[in-house]
């Protein structure tokens, strides 16, 4: 399989500064987190600044939203890291507990980060007497844009590749290992070549488009043009179900994590023909749909 589109060789590091005998680098992945949080904050601020979007007054003031954002940042980092440790490599980290806190070496899981945000937001709302579901609606509006930037950073880092493919837009990703993890290429069974001719789906771009741009535009349309924020829980439900659906679909094109890949299981299925990403996404679809149905009933009542 020959690469149809050349992979753009972009350095993962934007710049490096020597400080006190050490080198500090700003990486695209870190910038994606920073810019994503800023965009989410801006979108949320715009929403709470327009009382006509809500049924009554906005659920949060600007100072409250800024305080909640601080809790959310901690939830993303702690939840994302612990999610990766528990969902993807529990045996390794159980044997090497000192590695758990080394976030800078890589290893974050969206589903863990999502749970971290839920817990952090829940605790903050309980402490401040703010409606949990209304706060969730506010937060959900800006999340997809951070996801989009994160997936673009994954693409630049040449990590989390797609499955081997010969579609016209397939790419030959660099054959270097990322954090010593080959993402299953050494176990690809019938698709094992030499690495030089192996082309793959650019699944990071699929995710950036579906769970990022498309889902983000849908939420903004519902909130700012269709009055969705007047129905508490609707935006939250659409976000959760939308992300779960997008992730479930893209998992068909994404290379499974190396620890789940064997010569007899090149797709990395965990159970019932599903990957770990799909297994973790199905409950999100189910919960999201339940929240949407609940929100509709609240509006009727």
- For 89, list phi and psi in degrees, rounded to 5: -140, 55
Q: What is the pLDDT of residue 106?
A: 62
Q: What is the pLDDT of residue 182?
A: 41
SS3 262: strand
Q: What is the pLDDT of residue 3?
A: 46
DSSP assignment string, 148-210: HHHHHHHHHTT-S-B-B--STT-B----S-BTTB-TTGGG-GGG---SSS--B--HHHHHIII
Q: What is the pLDDT of residue 105?
A: 59
- What are the structure tokens assigned to 48, written together? 């709470």
**Around 135, how many Cα atoms within 13 Å sit in the side-chain half-sphere?**
26
C-alpha span between 193 and 212 (Å, rounded): 33
Q: What is the full per-residue pLDDT of the chain (301 aa) written as tens digits? A: 454 677 887 887 887 777 766 667 778 888 888 899 899 999 999 999 998 999 888 889 989 998 998 999 899 888 888 888 887 778 888 887 877 776 655 677 777 888 898 899 999 999 999 999 999 999 999 999 999 999 999 899 888 889 888 888 888 887 644 433 344 444 444 443 334 467 889 999 999 999 999 999 999 999 999 999 999 999 999 999 999 999 999 999 998 877 777 777 878 888 888 988 899 899 999 999 999 999 988 765 4
The pTM is what?
Answer: 0.82
Q: Are 256 and 268 in contact (CB under 8 A)?
A: yes
C-alpha span between 299 and 301 (Å, rounded): 5
């Amino acid at each position: 399989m020959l690469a149809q589109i050349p992979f753009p060789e972009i350095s993962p590091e934007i710049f490096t500064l020597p400080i006190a005998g050490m080198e500090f680098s700003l990486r695209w992945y870190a910038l994606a987190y920073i810019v994503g949080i800023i965009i989410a904050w801006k979108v949320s601020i715009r929403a709470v600044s327009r009382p006509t979007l809500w049924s009554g007054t906005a659920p949060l003031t600007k100072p409250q939203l800024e305080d909640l954002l601080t809790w959310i940042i901690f939830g993303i980092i702690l939840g994302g890291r612990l999610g990766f440790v528990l969902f993807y490599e529990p045996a390794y980290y159980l044997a090497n507990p000192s590695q758990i806190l080394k976030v800078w070496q890589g290893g974050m899981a969206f589903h863990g980060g999502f749970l971290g945000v839920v817990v952090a937001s829940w605790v903050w709302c309980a402490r401040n007497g703010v409606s949990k579901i209304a706060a969730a609606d506010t937060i959900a509006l800006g999340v997809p844009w951070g996801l989009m930037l994160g997936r673009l950073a994954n693409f630049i880092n040449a990590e989390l590749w797609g499955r081997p493919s010969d579609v016209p837009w397939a790419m030959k990703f660099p054959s270097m290992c990322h954090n010593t993890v080959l993402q299953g290429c050494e176990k690809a069974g019938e698709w094992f070549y030499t690495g030089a001719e192996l082309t793959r789906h650019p699944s990071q771009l699929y995710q950036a488009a579906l769970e990022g741009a498309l889902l983000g535009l849908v939420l903004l349309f519902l909130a700012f043009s269709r009055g969705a924020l007047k129905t508490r829980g609707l935006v939250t439900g659409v976000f959760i179900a939308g992300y779960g659906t997008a992730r479930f679909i893209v998992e068909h094109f994404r290379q499974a994590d190396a620890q789940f890949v064997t010569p007899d299981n090149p797709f990395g299925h965990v159970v019932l023909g599903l990957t770990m990403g799909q297994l973790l996404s199905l409950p999100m679809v189910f919960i999201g749909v339940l929240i949407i149905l609940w929100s509709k009933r609240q509006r009727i009542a």
